[in-house]
Amino acid sequence: MTTLDHPATTWLTVCRLHDLAYERGAAALVPDEAGGLPVLTQVALFRLLDERVLAVQQHDPFSDAHVMARGIVGTRRVADLDVPTVASPMHKQVFDLGTGRCLDPAGKEPAAGRSPDLRTWQVRVVDGDVQVAVGGGPS
Amino acid sequence: MDAQRHLVVVGGGMVAQRLVEALRDRDGDGVWRVTVLAEEPRRPYDRVALTSYFSGRTPEDLALGDAALWDDPLVTLVRGDAVTAVDRATRTVTAASGRTHRYDHLVLATGSSAWVPPMEGADLDGVFVYRTLDDVAALRGHVTALAGERTVRGVVLGGGLLGLEAAGALDALGARPTVLQVDTHLMSAQVDLGGGEALRRLVNRLGIGVRTQSRTTRLLPHRTGGVGRVELADGTRLDADVVVVAAGVRPRDELARAAGLPIGPRGGVVVDDTCLTDDPDVSAVGEVACIRGACIGLVAPGYTMAEVTVDRLLGGGAVYPGADTATRLKLAGVDVASFGDAFARTPGALEVVWADPVGGVYKKLVLSDDARTLLGGVLVGDATAYASLRPMVGRELPGDPAAFLLPEGGTGAPELELPDDAGVCSCNNVPAGAVRHAVAEQGCHDLGAVKACTRAGTSCGSCLPLVKKLMATELGKLGVTVSSALCEHFALSRAQLYDAVRVAGLRTFTEVLERFGSHGRGCDICRPVVASILATTAPAHVLDGERAALQDTNDHVMANLQKDGSYSVVPRMAGGEVTPEGLIAVGEVARDFGLYTKITGGQRIDMFGARIDQLPLIWRRLVDAGFESGHAYGKSLRTVKSCVGSTWCRFGVQDSVALAVMLELRYRGLRSPHKIKLGVSGCARECAEARGKDVGVIATDKGWNVYVGGNGGFTPRHARLLAEDLDTQTLVRTIDRFLLYYVRTADRLQRTAPWIEEVEGGLDGVRAVVLEDSLGICADLDEQMARHVADYEDEWRATLDDPDKLARFASFVNAPDVPDPSLAYVPTRGQVRPATPDERAVLVAGTTLEVRS
């Protein structure tokens, strides 16, 4: 089922909410665009205890492997707030799941030409369906 | 060409060992070759630690330094051949065997012998001295033989450092010792009357009797032979089944006397500040040397003399700086230290004394007449301040000196900031600056690294608390956190958290976090730690409930993550044993899934390049072929490596494979702070390289020797002997306890070698816990291991039986059958390897896939 919400935004249903385990990632393939051509991009989905689902890129910019969904979920205190995080399973860089920002590069540089921060996708849950905003929506 | 010169060292004690070590360290060009002529039939050993021989240590544990020293082609050690004569005219020495050795330079390092005062009965059976390993072994044999018949009464003649050590040894053997001291108080050479009195009370508490001002006049035989009684000058007679004479030592200067070298007024070969005797080709070092008018019966000044001698031999200009006569006695329950001008002999010296007769504590500081500069001190009952105060001798103490004497937790002494040139380790002459430099400049961020780098604390170990403190301060300056808190979510260390979770009986991460955490939902540090703790306190499958969210990806998918995001798979081959059918099955799986195969260091087979969605398919095949998880991914037991053992090997004395298989099946799946590896060798040839393992077992013709704390990796370590000649049942029980004690108390990602260095009491402490149950926890450990063995299940088989668990292995939640399109492989040497980024750009272009919506 796909829903049009914004002229440029498509909500793509990827799974049911109960398909996702709490505080553990799962990867999904979503349509995307690269250099004007349609491609499939891997996203990592995370279901938190408060039933929020957050999505960041599955690609780890530091190890250049598609592994972010396999990282450990947790929180880190940033300016008195506990922000949800994921740590790369490869070399433990820590990222803010909400913003994608790299909070701890663990002493490493990202792979050549990569930003240390992760791209994010908007996610909503409608009637138990987990939907990712794809195709030109805000990210 | 200059001929190589020959150094001959007479004597094979600790100072000789240090001299050879220093020479080989510094003489890179090999100007000197050295021959050490030792009277005792063994390599130099740690005489200072002799008493520990009674608490279960073996002669091997008393070995000094790196044994490789004696394999150096420039070093010759002749054991069991005492030198009988020195001929200075021909520059030769002659040994008891008749062999002669020509020298270019001679060093006398003959040490001292125990002095037995002339008295009737000194030659009776059951009268011992306390000087060499043989003396101590004979004493142990005698007391053990008598102990079967009755309570053994022991009398020690001499209430000095050595006498108290001997009394402690008798006590450890189960004998009832009494110390007879001629002087007014114990340790009268080191502590004052007040300290001696406090010491007497402490020693009494251990069940050791003390009589001061008691001169022994004769020893009387028992009617059944051997010594029976001791008679004192006042006519008192004491029953004694064994007598240890510890009345002092005399320098072994007979060779020098016969060779016509000048001898000091109270014995000893007279040397100048370069350690040379009257003869420029002869030096003397250690206890036999009379330097600045006296012989010194301590090892640290001997080490200094060895270093001075080596420097001079290599053309240096070193001179003897004077002796640091600070001493510390360490007996169970008795802590005594004396340093600097302990008797306040400096004109105008002031004494600050704090005594607590009830607590058995006496402390005294000696200060200069303006009460500012520390001159010396005596600490009895609580000598914790020794390590930080001793280096301050001759320097101004900050604040009120009395603050340093009050008990810990009182008003608190000011933090001592040691000057860089203040000595920290007197055994190895390491100043504070060297420790700071090691931490700040040489990247040593843990105690083991600092010890290896500076040698501080590697001999007697008494300075280790100070070294640790210096290291922590320095790390703090570098901004390295030295707090033992696990992470921002837990203020506890791993060991504290383990105990807390175990005692509170918690079963889930959320419970642990609510009870002991501070905020948030944990992180990649604390989650795996809690998972590991719960695995042994409340065992359950790694993917059960909330536990699944605590695991690192390796434990979560039960395989090893590789650089491209694929995994490797290792089935267990216990003991490295595998059937031809098993090999074929593994080969077929690897072939069918296109996996790269490699033999591991742990004697099994690793298959690389498995996608996450392939793991259940691979394991279905492996489980059907009779394999189970090898836990190569876990912080847990990895393998028990073995040699082929007595079933096939011509040299094997025990069935090492059978034992290795049994141990691997016993400890499989045991979650721990870091990986654990074991090895079993079937004979002393050690083909399984067991001493490079956390637990190494080596067969003897009487049973098994067990070694602990070995590892390869960045800092390779050889395992050290824990116990000898155990039968299989005792061996297994010992390893059970060792492993669980480690699991309970080690820090996160700390392997057994650094753990042993940091755990209470070091290796001796571990031995006391696992062999003598000194903490009273062994029944608990045994029960915990029994439960682990009974509850074990193959986590892969359990996963295959559970559809919910299998769902975690989908490649994509919306396209579970689509393989990860980013993975690409290229052939290499007949197998595959991950494509490089450049290769991948070509291989993975333009993927089109159907997406479920």
A44 domain residue, yes or no: yes
Question: Which positions in chain B touch A94 (Cβ < 8 Å)?
Answer: 523-524
A4 domain residue, yes or no: no
The predicted pLDDT at position B189 comes to 86
Q: A residues 72-91 near B, CB within 8 Å?
A: 72-77, 82, 84-85, 87, 89-90
A93 domain residue, yes or no: yes
A26 domain residue, yes or no: yes
Q: Out of A66, A82, A87, whose CB is closest to B565?
A: A66
The predicted pLDDT at position B849 comes to 40
The predicted pLDDT at position B117 comes to 87
B494: closest CA of chain A, how far (Å): 18
CB contact B522 to A (< 8 Å): yes
CA atoms within 13 A on the CB side of B179: 33
The predicted pLDDT at position B850 comes to 39
What span, in angstroms and rounded, lies between the C-alpha atoms of B853 and A20?
Answer: 16
Residues, chain A:
139
Q: What whole-number percentage of chain A has pLDDT above 70?
A: 91
- The complex scores an ipTM of 0.94
A109: closest CA of chain B, how far (Å): 16
Residues 6+ apart with CB under 8 A from B148: none
Nearest to B762 by CA among B360, B365, B531, B461: B461
Q: B residues 787-816 near A, CB within 8 Å?
A: 807-808, 810-815
CB contact B99 to A (< 8 Å): no
The predicted pLDDT at position B416 comes to 65
Residue A32 lies in domain? 10-134
A5 domain residue, yes or no: no
A vs B: CB pairs below 8 A: 123
CATH number at residue A94: 2.102.10.10
Nearest to B564 by CA among B832, B817, B835, B826: B835
Domain count, chain A: 1
Residue contact A70–B556, C-beta within 8 A: yes
A3 domain residue, yes or no: no
Question: Which positions in chain A touch B486 (Cβ < 8 Å)?
Answer: none
Residue contact B851–A23, C-beta within 8 A: no
Instruction: State how far the alpha carbon of B801 is from the alpha carbons of B341, B519, B804, B806, in Å.
Output: 76, 37, 9, 8
* Contact in structure between A26 and B810 (CB atoms under 8 Å): yes
Nearest to B255 by CA among B396, B110, B375: B110
pTM: 0.59
CA–CA–CA angle B499, B503, B506 (5° rounding): 100
Q: Give the relative orientation of helices B580-593 and B615-624 as an angle to the nearest 10 degrees.
A: 160
Strand, coil or helix: B286:
helix
A1 domain residue, yes or no: no
pLDDT along chain B (853 residues), means of 10: 84 94 90 94 83 67 79 91 94 94 96 90 91 87 82 92 88 89 90 89 88 91 89 90 91 94 93 94 95 88 92 91 78 81 89 82 89 90 82 83 65 63 80 89 81 78 75 81 81 92 93 93 96 95 95 97 97 97 97 96 96 97 97 97 96 95 97 97 94 96 95 85 95 97 93 89 91 92 96 96 93 93 93 90 54 42
A2 domain residue, yes or no: no
